[in-house]
Amino acid sequence: MAALGPAVQAAPAVHTVLIDGMRFIPQTVEVKAGDTVVWRNKDPFPHTATATQSGSGGPSSPAIAPGASWRFKAAKPGSYPYLCTLHSTMTATLVVK
C-alpha cells in the first residue's frame, strides 16, 4: 500500500472586481482567507473600495485612478460591506470564508 503524502492546499486565488458604470461588479465577491482581491477601475474618474466599518479588517483603498487597480489580501473571515467614499451610492460586499 502506498503512503499518502501531506494534503496539498490550493494556492491563494486572485479575484477581480470591476469598477464600471458607477458599480462594483460583482456586487458580492466570496473569497477564502489568504486570497487577493483586485479592484480595476474602468470608469473615467477615481473611486475607492472602503469598508463601511473602519478597522474591521475589510478593504480600505486610496483613490483608485481611472485605468488603475488596487490589491487587497483578504486575511480575516467575515462579511465586509464596502463603498466608494467618493460616490456613496456605490456599495458592495466582500465575504471572506
Asked whether residue 84 is marked as a ligand-binding residue, the answer is: yes
71 vs 75: CA distance, rounded Å: 13
57's grid cell? 479588517
User: Please, what is the Cα angle at 63 between 22 and 40, to 5 degrees?
Assistant: 55
15 vs 47: CA distance, rounded Å: 18
Mark residue 92 as left, alpha or beta (left: phi above 0; alpha: psi -120 to 50; beta: remaining). Answer: beta
Asked whether residue 64 is marked as a ligand-binding residue, the answer is: no
Binding site per annotation, positions: 47, 84, 87
Binding site per annotation, positions for Cu cation: 47, 84, 87
